[in-house]
């Protein structure tokens, strides 16, 4: 069940090679961009604004990104790829389906709490991509979705049933992604507790229903 390699970024930016020496600077640029996009949306972020926030010239940005959309794509692709890689490793660890589900939930939430801006951009600005980069990003997303669905299927039908998805498991996975992604709209660690706690709550609700959430209070 080893995953195929993810298509390289340069598929979409064949014109420019980013050498290791500038990797660190590139990361800084993307991080700042993520913060600005997360705050007001991709459209609202302007290249000028970004250049000012970075203390560099507007034209200078175009040494790192072929276009504003390329910037968005790089941001999304890298983030998604990192999330998927993490979750695939987590899913490979042995354990009951229930244990693995909890690990996926918590892993997702932890990734969220460490890369809030980046994940927010991935979650809400997918449609801002053009058709080609969209397809590339979509592909990773789909793999992540299948990963979740296969674990959910084992929870529902038992590990003996293999990882065959069913209508139930597919729908449930969509509900679960809704729960997970909606967290951007409300989560505040000071008010709601740690993401690990949230992960346990979700697990209880998913495994035992609403009444089961009383146990984890």
Partner DNA sequence: GATGAATGAGCTTTCATTCAT
Partner DNA sequence: TATGAATGAAAGCTCATTCAT
Interface residues with its own copies (CB under 8 A) are 40-41, 43-44, 124, 127-128, 152, 155-157, 166-168, 171-172, 174-175, 177-183, 185-186, 192, 198, 201-202, 205-214, 217
Euclidean distance between CA atoms 45 and 95, whole angstroms: 44
CB of 2 to its own copies, least distance (A): 27
CB of 13 to DNA, least distance (A): 13
Q: What is the Cβ-side half-sphere exposure of residue 48, based on CA atoms within 13 angstroms?
A: 1
Q: Pick from its own copies, DNA, none: which does 1 bind, CB < 5 to 8 A by kind?
A: none
- Selection from DNA, its own copies, none that 34 binds (CB < 5 to 8 A by kind) is none
d(CA 72, CA 18): 16
Q: Minimum Å distance from CB 42 to DNA?
A: 8
Cβ atoms of 43 and 72 within 8 Å: the answer is no
The partner in contact with residue 58, picked from DNA, its own copies, none with C-beta cut-offs of 5 to 8 angstroms by kind, is DNA
190 binds DNA (CB under 7 A): no
159 binds DNA (CB under 7 A): no
CA distances in angstroms from 192 to 78, 122, 132, 211, listed in the order given: 29, 23, 39, 19
Q: Does 47 bind DNA (CB under 7 A)?
A: yes
Piece of the chain touching DNA by CB under 7 A; list 15-23, 83-91, 187-195, 207-215: 15-23
Q: Which does 47 bind (CB under 5 to 8 A by kind): its own copies, DNA, none?
A: DNA
**Contact between residue 132 and residue 119 where contact means Cβ atoms under 8 Å apart:** no
In angstroms, rounded to a whole number, what is the distance separating the alpha carbons of residues 64 and 18? 8
- Two structure tokens written together for 182: 């909606």
Assign 93 to helix, strand or coil. coil
Distance between CA atoms of residues 91 and 83, nearest Å: 12
- List the helix and strand counts (H, then E) for the chain: 10, 0
Binding to DNA by residue 9, rule CB under 7 A?
no
Quick check: 168 binds DNA (CB under 7 A)? no
- Applying CB under 7 A, the residues found at the interface with DNA are 19, 21-22, 25, 45-49, 56-60, 62-64, 66-69
């Amino acid at each position: 069940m080893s995953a195929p390699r993810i298509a390289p970024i340069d598929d979409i930016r064949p014109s420019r090679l980013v050498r290791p020496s500038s990797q660190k600077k590139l990361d800084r640029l993307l991080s700042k961009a993520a913060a600005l996009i997360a705050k007001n949306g991709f459209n609202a972020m302007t290249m000028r604004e970004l250049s000012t926030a970075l203390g560099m010239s507007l034209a200078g940005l175009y040494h790192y990104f072929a276009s504003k959309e390329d910037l968005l794509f790089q941001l999304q692709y890298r983030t998604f790829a990192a999330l998927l890689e993490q979750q695939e490793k987590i899913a490979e660890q042995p354990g009951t389906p229930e244990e693995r589900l909890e690990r996926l939930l918590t892993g997702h939430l932890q990734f969220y709490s460490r890369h809030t801006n980046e994940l927010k951009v991935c979650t809400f600005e997918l449609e801002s991509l053009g058709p080609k980069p969209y397809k590339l990003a979509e592909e990773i997303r789909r793999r992540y979705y299948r990963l979740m669905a296969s674990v959910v299927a084992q929870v529902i039908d038992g590990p003996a049933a293999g990882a065959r998805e069913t209508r139930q498991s597919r729908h449930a996975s969509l509900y679960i992604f809704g729960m997970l992604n909606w967290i951007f709209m409300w989560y505040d660690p000071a008010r709601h507790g740690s993401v690990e706690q949230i992960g346990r709550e979700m697990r209880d609700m998913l495994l035992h229903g609403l009444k089961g959430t009383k146990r984890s209070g």
